[in-house]
Chains A and B, each alone.
Chain A
Amino acid sequence: MNEDGEVGDIDAEFLGEEGKAVSGASRMEAAYGSGDGDDDLTAQVAKTGVVAGTIFDTTYRPWRGELNPRWMRNWSILRHHLLGFVKKGHRPWSIWMKLALFGCLIGSMGDLAMAFLGTVIGDTDLYRLFGASRGNLYGHVLGFFPRNALCFPLIAALLIGGMISEDRRHGTSAIYFSRPIERRDYTAMKFLTVAIVLSILIVGTLAIYYLGDILLRGEGWSWLLDTFPMFLAAALAGFLLVFTYTSIGLALSSVSQGRFFPAVAFLAIFLVSKLLAFLIWQLFERSVIYLISPYDCIAHLGQTMLGISSSYDHPWTWSLVSILIINAIALYVLTSRVSSMEVTRE
């Protein structure tokens, strides 16, 4: 007790002592061995210069600013995912991811490089093979090997691998959902992140290829008028491809808790369905089986849009319906899984 007869901060406090508040502090001091203790006891102490730590007397200075609207919150999610490619402090992109993306970007520009070579050395056959044309615009977006067999699905698989699944596994989606972030915005921003990167890879390189060819050959307005609708059709097919890759990929990411399963399952869906359809077509010579292959459905639509003779013998409308159903199923799985994240709905 002190001189005024009051209980000091570190003395024992007795329950029920009249007029004294019981804070429990003394018991905590005893529990942690940081109280007065017995004078006879000895203790070993650290040598001088050792910083044991500091207990802070805190003063909270409130912030009374205005929180900004929904689009700014959504932008913060988007930039968090995208800027990790170039800056630290955001969702990190692995070095392998960066290398694969860089390699595929360079590889996607191979046709432009060959067209450039053909022009420079004056080899018209080489230019005809790789220069901008109906078939080559289609091939830039929807050519199967190597673009849709290796490059695009690989990048999509790497992108979607941990996009939602890692939030599921680590529980970091709880960080989003305890803030004024709606689940549809969270899903939309994840979708947009993957779609932007794939769009740069697929449609962005298509635009560079087309523009590069114009500059390379100094083409005139008549050529532009002839080929621009083809370019637009190829770009539209490219966006459809991006949308399908993204929706299927994120659906797989949303049902798993790791990077491996969604990536492998994604590649399996695209490549195995194509292989299976090819084998059945070889046996029965019926192309309708290609309706199970998302790639072939889009390729069929792309051929129709670009006016290329179709390699499928079923109507293009069937492919349209099939790809719509595939995307609807993927989006249903994605939205239902995200709506149940961090939620128990029993």
Chain B
Amino acid sequence: MIPDMSQRGDGPEAQAPVQAEAPTVLLDRVSKWYGSIVGLNDVSIAISGGVSGILGMNGAGKSTLFKLLTGKLKPSQGTVRLFGVDPWQSTKPFGRIGFVSESEKLYDWMTGLEFVATMARLHGMTREEAVTESERVIEFVGMSDAMNKRIGKYSKGMRQRIKIAHALVNDPDLIILDEPLQGCDPLARTTIMNVIRELGAQGRTVLVSSHILQEIERITEQIVILHRGRLLALGNLHAIRSMLDQHPHSIRLTCDDPRKISQHLVNDDQVFGLQFETEESLIIKTRNLGEMHARLPALIRQSGIRVTGIDNPDDNLESILQYLTGGES
């Protein structure tokens, strides 16, 4: 058998021009299976512009989706297009893509500036262009002070930011970030989130994967939820939440005297259940989360009890998945 060295086609210059009107990302009835295991099952998505969060638990198919988009996997079925071009067949779209992989592997012996400049040259920049543009993107991710330090000495957050910098150096129209916040401290998270929001505000298409709903929620309202390879939900997070509001929800109150405060809650028509979780916390069951949150401040004031915390224990991806799958997850 002849090795498939033509996987990338005849080179970017020989390919048909990228279609200007095509969606940035298009997956049409795409499936990918690994032997008997289904990685992605009949997924159809079209995304152009803005930040989209790709949510899913481990094994949901996020990485498979990104590998298909970056030409590292060939779909078992269906069509994948980036800017109208098949990424498996052509390297042409990669000139317009910035990809931050989940992998931690970088060239640790290089400084941040050297690394980003080397990556810039892989796009065909001259030495001067590469250094100038590298400094630009390193400044953008807030790494100017550390750009002359070796990557091997960087913290996790700094490595993530330098990875984002190298993905941006070619001024990409599509930025794919695979778990960019994983393992980062709060400061690095906030910085990276600012970077992602700014890129989205520029009109670029940014795909960010995570398995933590709250992370994505801080970045974007447009989400794609994958579960066991299937596309479960696609669209505005608020719209998905409003669907969830029609189903039982929990609110946890942390306070000095849960039993006393329960007396003020038990007659509220939005409350259909109360549960004393610990000596200092109370779980309120409600069918209308929004309405219950609107009433809570008044009810708490009325009770005179000092409340030290309010949170939604089921306001997470697992709960949404449970709802969307009808409890199968």
Contacts and interface: CB of A to CB of B under 8 A. Distances in A.
A and B pair up: yes
Given A25-B218, A70-B13, A346-B33, A179 B136 contact: no
B3 to A, nearest CB: 4
B81 to A, nearest CB: 17
A43 to B, nearest CB: 15
A317 interface: no
Interface in B243-280: 245
**Number of chain B interface residues as a range:** 35 or more
B141 to A, nearest CB: 7
Nearest to B145: A54
B245 to A, nearest CB: 7
Interface in A53-70: 53-65, 67-70
Interface stretch (B20-28, B54-62, B187-195): B187-195
A183 B9 CA distance: 10
B214 A27 contact: yes
Contact of B140 (A22, A61, A67): A61
Interface stretch (B40-48, B99-107, B321-329): B99-107
Given A77-B122, A174-B105, A345-B74, A89 B111 contact: yes
A16 interface: yes
Nearest to B113: A89
Contacts of B311: 27, 30
Interface of B: 1, 3-9, 11-13, 33-35, 67, 70-74, 91-92, 94-95, 97, 99, 101, 103, 105-107, 109-111, 114, 118-119, 121-126, 129, 133, 136, 140-142, 166, 168, 170-171, 186-187, 190-191, 194-195, 198-199, 202, 214-215, 217-218, 238, 241, 245, 288-291, 293-294, 296, 308-312, 315
B217 A342 contact: no
Interface of A: 12, 14-18, 22-25, 27-28, 30-32, 34, 38, 52-65, 67-70, 72-73, 76-77, 80, 88-92, 170-172, 174-185, 187, 332, 335-336, 338-339, 342-346
Contact of B198 (A16, A31, A58, A187): A58
B124 A16 contact: no
Contacts of A64: 171
Closest 8 CB pairs of A and B: A16-B290, A68-B124, A14-B293, A24-B217, A76-B121, A336-B3, A89-B114, A56-B142
